[in-house]
A = this chain, B = another copy of it.
Amino acid sequence: MKQVGIGLIGTGFMGKCHAMAYGAVKAVFGDVPTPQLEILCSIDAENARRSAENFGFERWTTDWRDVVNDPGVHIVSITAPNSLHREITEAVAKAGKVVYCEKPLALTLADGIAMAQAVREAGVASLTGYNYLRNPALAYAKKLIQDGAIGQVIQFRGIYDEDYMADPDLAYTWRCRTEDAGTGALGDLSVHLISVAHYLIDEIVQVMGDIKTVHTQRPDPENNGQPGTVENEDQANALIRFRNGVHGVIGTSRVAWGRKSYMCWEVHGSTGMIAFDQERMNELRIYRNRGDVADQGFKTILTNTAHPPYGQFTPAPGHGLGFNDLKVIEVAHLLRGFEGRETLYPNMDDALHIERVIHGIVSSSQQGAWLTIGD
């Protein structure tokens, strides 16, 4: 197996998640190279030092360019703030290294396009962090659909709601500003839902959105608690149409009290239905019009060793994976892709299409008209 040196930029929520995945992937999967944790970057020196120790990295820095330029680094995990994604990605690509970037790509579509182009032109491999795609339950859903278990797909419906900004009294922060955060719920949450829709159904090619900021002002602690105007959407709903002709609808909110990771979707087929809820991520529900009507109902399948790669984590069925385990699966894919054994998905181009959709939802909402997703 090839030597694989890892650089990590960012040590927050997702940075730690990446680090844990690198640390676990060899024990879990075995058939991947052992990631060499070379260097990580945090802008705070003490945090960088401590994170390096905790995560098992050899070196640390406060300048992300050190990570990019480190000769021992082959793959760069980009978990820095979204506003830095473009600059870092372009640097990593230019350095000829693998770009492993968390979603969303960037604050603006233009930046996303530039990033995808940089990666394409540099000819480097890339993977974007859509870890919900790694759920064995989702892989099984896709297999079921492909095998015709629910016949011809006729509709997709999805929701991704959370409540991390549901409190109207929550402080005004960078998250509220387009310049710093880009879109709101769309970039944070909808992109995941769209990634699932693309994975399961087909590319979304037309959208008609309706976005709304419901908590329009929040107290700004940097301005004596005076109200700051929230610039991006709290909620977004959109009618959608797929390339294969299927219609659907998606909705997202970051102000939905009680929802913690409520990515809920259902695929309607001509002979059945598949449904899923990320808050119960080890369950997949399927209904088939098969056999006696008296005996039909939604079946709740607990993921198990028959749903790869569940069995890599435990041979015991229904014992349950967690959020962080999905990242381990993603990193295994990354490493196999690095060795040329698998084709990385979703790469920058795939991710770009996801972001075209969310920006299309914003535009269609502003125009009050259907919009065709461009290339």
Contacts and interface: CB of A to CB of B under 8 A. Distances in A.
Contacts of A235: 154-155, 247
Interface string A172-214: 0000000000000000000000000000000000001110101
B27 A19 contact: yes
Contact of A270 (B168, B284, B297): B168
Given A273-B257, A322-B320, A325-B324, A208 B239 contact: yes
Interface stretch (A64-72, A97-105, A111-119, A248-256): A248-256
Contact of A298 (B50, B164, B212, B300): B300
A222 interface: no
A309 interface: no
Contact of A13 (B164, B259, B314): B314
A271 interface: yes
Q: Tell me the interface secondary structure of chain A in the complex.
A: mixed
Given A155-B214, A289-B167, A56 B255 contact: no
Copies in the complex: 4
Given A13-B316, A249-B251, A319-B261, A302 B297 contact: yes
B317 A313 contact: no
A10 interface: no
A110 interface: no
A166 interface: yes
Nearest to A50: B30
Nearest to A37: B27
Contacts of A109: none
Contacts of A253: 155, 268
A98 B317 CA distance: 31
Given A24-B20, A279-B320, A287-B257, A294 B301 contact: yes
A304 interface: yes
A148 interface: no
Contacts of A302: 260, 279, 297
A244 interface: no
Contacts of A154: 214, 234-235, 255
Given A54-B30, A154-B214, A289 B247 contact: no
Contact of A368 (B140, B300, B369): B369
Interface in A289-315: 289, 292-302, 304-307, 313-315
A150 B56 CA distance: 44
A77 to B, nearest CB: 14
Nearest to A302: B260
Contacts of A164: 316
A314 B319 contact: no
Contact of A27 (B23, B256, B259): B23
21 contacts: A151-B168, A209-B239, A210-B239, A212-B247, A237-B249, A256-B268, A256-B273, A257-B287, A257-B288, A260-B302, A261-B320, A262-B318, A280-B280, A294-B306, A296-B299, A297-B301, A300-B300, A313-B324, A314-B324, A321-B322, A369-B369
Closest 8 A/B residue pairs (Cβ): A260-B318, A258-B287, A322-B322, A294-B306, A297-B301, A319-B323, A237-B249, A321-B322
Interface of A: 13, 16-17, 19-20, 23-24, 26-28, 30, 34, 50, 53-56, 140, 150-151, 154-155, 157, 159, 163-164, 166-168, 208-210, 212, 214-215, 234-235, 237-239, 241, 247-249, 251, 253, 255-262, 268-273, 279-282, 284, 286-289, 292-302, 304-307, 313-325, 368-370
